[in-house]
Amino acid sequence: MPSQPGPAGGSSGEAAVRSETVINVIQGDFAISDRDGDVLVTLLGSCVATCLFDPVARVGGLNHFLLPAGSDNPRQSVRYGAHAMELLINGLLRRGANRHRLKGKLFGGARMVDGLSDIGAANSLFARDFLAKEGIECVGSSLGGVQARKIRFVPTTGAARQMLVERQAVEAVERAPRRPRPPPEDDITLF
């Protein structure tokens, strides 16, 4: 709630509290915003979230991909890193970001199931390599380990906060049904 002006036109002494709009980003999805007060949130296990932002244009976005590469099927391709990165970058450029000013932060890639292939490591490697090949500076990351993470990302400033969570929280989200995303528009530029 914003502070109320006092009798002399000043503040009543209470600190102003900014309103915040939380946008949940589920597996295989992404979100972009240039609005102050928006916070992009996601929950990660072996998946990786890439947070990209342009600090001058004050626009940013976050994707949440499950696997590094895969299907050419448009309905399934958002689950894969290569397509998720293209969608995020193209969306940012359409919202006024300059590709040469983009900065990145990477989160996730945990090893969630012992005894199986380490998909988290493959996702992490893909994300790091993608940013390096595209010349996007990675200014922060928390990848690997065995702990699930909840990420809060402020797209207009690039500020990110990671909170470690219990494995069961991620397992419940991973079993939840996913809503299908419509096929992407034809104006995607491949990088």
Q: What is the pLDDT of residues 70-109, one digit of tens each?
A: 656 655 566 788 899 999 999 999 999 999 999 999 999 9
Q: What domain range includes position 89?
A: 21-173
The number of domains in the chain is: 1
Helix or strand or coil: residue 53?
strand
Domain membership flag for residue 4: no
188 in any annotated domain: no
CA angle, residues 112, 132, 130, in degrees to nearest 5: 50
- Model's pTM, two decimal places? 0.77
Query: Which residue bears the tokens 């928006």?
Result: 38
**Whole-number pLDDT of residue 80:** 80
The residue assigned the tokens 């244009």 is 57
Answer whether residue 26 is part of any domain: yes
What whole-number distance in Å separates Cα of residue 109 and Cα of residue 133? 19
